[in-house]
Structure 1
């Protein structure tokens, strides 16, 4: 199982030097990839800009958006961004996760329509692939570049969880980005089982790529910081859900993280992203030590 790590894009006050230190630590560690998520409100950093900086500042790890809330954007613009990112990284954009998102106010803030986002993303994926194939999008306009380093394009992984959305994505996705906040084997395995069933029903002749993720921390007073991070992340859902989820996570020690890694591997993850609860560089350094011993 390949292991990646998510950048701390949600933390306020980070500087150029902070990000450069994270890029260097990840690129020199035992990690397969680095990622960044997308969110509009709050102190969050822009995913596209952060990953572009990471592409220029690293030389080894893959660069993976996790994930584009695709219906908030122009699909043609995203296709162009990803092709550019692929070239700037030297061909290290091999997986791209896309999803619907559940934050209506983020849609409002960028002037996008929240209603109808499911059908819109189906159409957007085809539009992106047309761009990457070099097809003319506007009659007489010519192709839209740049040209990807791999003409087949990156894998498009669906960030979907429910059976209906997974079934919908099975028609076009190359795989699934499954999420279990506490790295539970049964949660990840159940999501992958739904994907397998949906892929079969959709008549797909290639299996779904299996990517997963969970929250963790190795910072001092880690359990409290993990609780606070998850609560803040899910506060939009209301205090009851935020409290329930915050109380359910406990990957804040070496043993508990090793258990989470074993869970993900047993569930069938081919690739796993670890999402840190703090911006402390110990999240990279201590996790590197754990992975070196595993």
Structure 2
């Protein structure tokens, strides 16, 4: 068991990463990425990663650690995070908007065994023939509780849940009910709270900054690769509208507007998720978070 961990969650553009970097500079700690898009080694601007200089100087971990087109899931991220705890004798600061990643460590979700490539390939083969609707119906039968918790359009989680059932004989829900081993003696869990209008303005400003920093060129270069459109990274906010602009199917201003709107909608979903699921967290305004964490270490 490890003595202490800090968790910072909240919506996109709320300033979580900047907070984590500031806290890390004041304590013997290291920052661990908990954003499901920032784990990949592509689309640094679009996924809004810290700069390479910040990542190196601030001892940040699990940014860009998955080489596209390989995939990451909650189980792999959790496993890599726990490995870091054994290697680095400092306070981990987990930060990101992927609540399920944070939850997997906070609530000590049981570690599911690795799924063989044979099973993954077979599932993918059937998926290409029958589509996600077939697998969602299947999931409703084998794990109705989990199926109702996720979107019928969440291909990655649907396929993962079916793979787990086939490989282990236990459903996702069964695994989550198993006795769990506590990882940390003490947890400081904070969710960044922000007025919606202020957050939306920050989102719009950040989208404009991405355009200045070359996000269109980044997307264009990414699309030159032979793409697997079912890969999780293809769900990155902004990839679809910018792809349509690059292909000449939509005007630039329209795509920028869609990008901003999609990001705002994503932030709204994150706010809802953290409000519903992070009941044991301290929900604080951005200006109060650092003080609260430093006082409670």
TM-score (norm 2): 0.33
Structure whose alpha-carbon radius of gyration is higher: 2
Higher relative contact order (CA 8 A, sep 6+): 2
TM-score (norm 1): 0.33
